[in-house]
A and B are shown apart, each in its own frame.
Chain A
Amino acid sequence: MTTAIIDYGSGNLHSAQKAFEQAARTQGLSTQILVTSDPEAVRNADRIVLPGVGAFADCRRGLDAVPGMVEAMTETVFKKARPFLGICVGMQLLAERGLEYETSRGLGWIAGDTVRIEPRDPALKIPHMGWNNLSQKRAHPLLEGIPENLHAYFVHSYHLKPTNQSDIVATTDYGGELTAFVARDTIAGTQFHPEKSQKLGLALIANFLRWAP
């Protein structure tokens, strides 16, 4: 089994790779964790991970700058129904549009926009940075067996606002509800960083590596 972490010049690829390797090792799963910018490798992968840090528009440009990558991702996810996980901006890119700095086109896999966080209490700091709880809205295989009191690590100023409430798996509270986890079919995305979320994160990654939708 091969899990491809997409390298498009954005993201903490080293941390992500190590966390996936660690999760696979502790679960006794034999999977190759491949960091790649080769669309062919993505086409042949059993699972795809799209990380991302930075601004939406920059990440979108970075993704477009890898020839054939968006096509390879789309084909693998929609034609082969391979599991996909977007992390942070990699999750925000699932939206139809991103409104950070400029309006840019997302992948459009989850209906909705990526918009700035506007907490009800203006004294709350932006970015939303640190450890917060998840409030689960519906069951999802990636959250299976994860105790509710565990924390996830967030660092972001924007979040994805899905049009369809059914796409929201979990939210987090920060002067109002923020989308923490979206999913549809074989597509999943977390606003928090599983690769930085210790127990919760490694458990979620292990679930992703086992996920057979």
Chain B
Amino acid sequence: MLKKRVIPCLDVKDGRVVKGVQFVDLVDAGDPVQSALAYDAAGADELCFLDITASHEDRGILMDVVRRTAEACFMPLTVGGGVRSVDDIRNLLLAGADKVSIMTAAVNDRNFVKEAATKFGSQCIVVAIDAKRITAQGEAPRWEIFTHGGRRATGIDALNYAREVTALGAGELLLTSMDRDGTKIGYDIELTRAISDSVSVPVIASGGVGTLQHMVEGIRDGHASAVLAASIFHFGEFSIRETKEALAQAGLAVRMD
């Protein structure tokens, strides 16, 4: 049976993990490769690096991080942040990324998704969707796509957008609720389920995790195929193992090897 995935996400800036990662026995908690190795050993199903430098001069540092991670970690790695061209994708894949996450470039030009999927295959094109609830009182729930860390509204309906990028070849969606991101009050389950039920590809739920129960809800109620979280893993609040045990207890299939 296919297992639900647990994915820790590392924010990388200038080649270092920001926010820090707390692991016992970690030589250098700020080194993304060390963190990746620790998560690999802890049983993470995939890893996600989000490059928040995203200035072109610093891409070389990121490539080096990806390369060194791929040398030591034999699990799938998704890299996102500042991916704007077919060349960006090719360079990341050559460095050792398995999937590349694109966001703003896809919002600006939907054809980029198609071009990328045609060239590299849908299986490695993840479209990241940052959505914010814009429902007026008495209205059915609606969400809008935002860019620039939730600061810039686009006027694009999140559900329509999800269907559109999927039809263009996105192989997976990384869905973040901008309302919940950093709040620790749980995923926006309504949003997660609405998107998940309207596309044929896997959806990764993100934004708002504070408890193990939140991750159970993301999969069980939000119909996500995977859950992604950053700080609760980094600060050692919960381990990957604890998360998987909680999912298993809720009757969800997880990988324990």
Which residues on A are within 8 Å of B, measured CB to CB?
A: 12-15, 18-19, 22, 53-55, 58, 89, 125-133, 149-151, 153-157, 173-174, 193, 195-202
B96→A18 contact, CB < 8 A: yes
Whether A131 lies near B5 (C-beta < 8 A) is yes
Given contacts A19-B74, A129-B225, A130-B3, contact A196 B98 (CB under 8 A): yes
Task: Please judge, given known A-B contacts A18-B70, A157-B123, whether A199 and B257 are in contact too, CB under 8 Å.
Answer: yes
Residue of B74, B94, B200 touching A196 (CB-CB under 8 A): B74
Instruction: Report B211 CB to chain A, min CB distance, Å.
Output: 23
| Residue B122 lies at the interface, judged by CB distance under 8 Å to chain A | yes
A127 and B171 form a contact (CB under 8 A) = yes
Q: CB-CB < 8 A to A153: which residues of B? A: 75-76
Contact assessment for A14 and B225 in the assembled complex, using a CB-CB cutoff below 8 Å: no
| Contact, CB under 8 Å: A125 / B225 | yes
A194 nearest CB neighbor, chain B only: B74
Q: Which residues of A contact B45 (CB under 8 A)?
A: 130-131
Residues of the A chain whose Cβ atoms lie less than 8 Å from the Cβ of B119: 54, 58
CB within 8 Å for A173 and B1 given contacts A127-B171, A195-B74, A201-B74: yes
The answer, yes or no, to whether B150 is at the interface (CB within 8 Å) is no
24 contacts between A and B (CB under 8 A): A14-B96, A15-B70, A15-B96, A19-B74, A53-B120, A53-B123, A53-B124, A54-B119, A54-B123, A58-B118, A125-B225, A129-B123, A129-B172, A130-B2, A130-B226, A132-B2, A151-B3, A155-B171, A157-B122, A196-B76, A196-B98, A199-B257, A201-B74, A202-B74
B48 to chain A, nearest CB (A): 14
Report B-chain residues with C-beta under 8 Å of the C-beta of A197.
74
Q: Say whether B202 contacts A127, CB under 8 Å.
A: yes
**Interface presence of B31 (CB below 8 A):** no
Least CB distance, B68 to chain A, in whole angstroms:
10
- With CB as the reference atom, state the residue of chain B lying closest to A133: B1
B123 touches A127 (CB 8 A): yes
CB neighbours (8 Å) of A22 from chain B are 74
Residues of chain A contacted by B95 (CB below 8 angstroms) = 14
Contact B225 A130 (CB under 8 A): yes
Q: Which residue of B lies closest to A195 (CB)?
A: B74
Cβ–Cβ contact A12 & B172, under 8 A: no
B67 at the interface (CB under 8 A from A): yes
Distance in angstroms from B139 CB to nearest chain A CB is 28
Q: How far is the CA of A149 from the CA of B257 in the complex (A)?
A: 8
Q: A156 contacts which chain B residues (CB < 8 A)?
A: 123
B residues 167-206 near A (Cβ < 8 Å) are: 171-172, 200-202
Question: Is there contact, CB below 8 Å, between B171 and A129?
Answer: yes
**CA distance in complex: A156, B175 (Å):** 21
Any chain A CB within 8 A of the CB of B60?
no
- In this assembly, does B221 line the interface, its C-beta being within 8 Å of a C-beta of chain A? no
Distance in angstroms between the alpha carbons of A196 and B124 in the assembled complex: 14
User: Quick check: is B93 within 8 A (CB to CB) of the other chain?
Assistant: yes
Chain A: minimal CB distance from B248 (Å): 14
The 6 closest A-B pairs by CB, nearest first: A54-B121, A131-B255, A14-B96, A155-B123, A131-B3, A18-B71
How many angstroms from the CA of A127 to the CA of B74 in the assembled complex? 21
> 1/0 per residue B217-237: CB within 8 Å of A?
000000001100000000000
Q: Which single residue of chain A is at the shortest CB-CB distance from B203?
A: A125
A176–B171 Cα gap in the complex (Å)?
Answer: 21
Given A130-B5, A156-B123, A196-B74, 20 more pairs with CB closer than 8 A: A13-B94, A15-B96, A53-B120, A53-B123, A54-B121, A54-B123, A58-B118, A125-B202, A126-B200, A127-B172, A129-B2, A129-B171, A130-B2, A130-B226, A131-B45, A132-B2, A150-B257, A151-B257, A157-B122, A196-B98
The reply to whether A55 and B121 contact each other, CB–CB distance below 8 Å, is yes
CA distance A130 to B255 in the complex (A): 10
Complex-state Cα separation, A154 to B76, whole angstroms: 10
| Inter-chain contact A129/B202, CB cutoff 8 Å | yes
Q: Is B64 an interface residue (CB 8 A)?
A: no
